[in-house]
Amino acid sequence: MPRDTHFAGHARIGIDVGGTFTDGCLLEEETGEVRVDKVPSTPDDPSVGIEDTDDLIGDLQNALDNYDR
């Protein structure tokens, strides 16, 4: 479940799809807060592993929804 997140600056996201695990990292640049997620990789369809980093992606979506422009 995504946390209540409010970003005042820029966020960066990185995804590393490996043979065993798919790792995701979200960095909020202004505060330096880092969130990570690790899920099993899905060799038949790597996009599933990416989608399974849903906690991280949910945090990013929540942050974008609350972004101060």
Residue 10's Cα: distance from chain center in Å?
14
What distance in Å separates the CA atoms of residue 69 and residue 65, rounded to the nearest whole number? Answer: 11
- For residue 20, report the phi and psi dihedrals to the nearest 5 degrees: -110, -45
What distance in Å separates the CA atoms of residue 46 and residue 11, rounded to the nearest whole number? Answer: 23
Q: Coil, strand or helix: which one is 40?
A: strand
Low-confidence ranges of the chain (pLDDT < 50): 1-2, 4
* pLDDT tens digits, 30-46: 888 888 889 999 999 99
